[in-house]
Amino acid sequence: MRLLTHNMLSSNIKGVTNGFPLLIEAVKVVEKEVDFNEDFLKNMFVKVEWKALVEASRTLGYTELPESAEASMLDSDEFLRKFHHALLELHLEDGALVCPETGRKFPVSKGIPNMLLHEDEV
């Protein structure tokens, strides 16, 4: 599971007011190279919640992202490369995503998060 996906996931448990971002418990992290695509990064930048991405990348062991970011930084190749790496090349293979309000764990196994809710959580 890439951090781009983590940035798009939230906890939908009944009663939760703000289920984003999910906390990460990392058991196995893998780095996988992906082709660099500037247009893609610029498109995604608008959608990404930056703070959540920074937090998540730190949990996975990557500390290069600046605390805050703005659109003008997209002109810098160095910034783009760091953004690319954090967003697309860090994979949580095994671990869990944790609801920030209830502590309920959504397992991640072989890179696939399980967001299915139990009957009493819907």
**Region binding other proteins by CB under 8 A among candidate stretches 23-31, 37-45, 57-65, 77-85:** 37-45
CA separation (Å) from 48 to 15, 68, 70, 85, 109?
Answer: 25, 12, 11, 14, 24
Interaction between residue 10 and other proteins (CB under 8 A): yes
One character per residue 47-66, x = contact with other proteins (rule: CB under 8 A): x-x-----------------
Distance CA(122)–CA(110), nearest Å, equals 25
Interaction between residue 39 and other proteins (CB under 8 A): yes
3-state secondary structure of 2: strand
Report, in Å, the least distance between residue 44 CB and other proteins.
7
Interaction between residue 105 and other proteins (CB under 8 A): no
Distance CA(6)–CA(119), nearest Å, equals 23
By the 8 A CB rule, do 60 and 12 touch?
A: no
Residues in contact with other proteins by the rule CB under 8 A? 1-2, 4-5, 7-12, 19-20, 34-35, 37, 39-40, 43-44, 47, 49, 106, 110-117
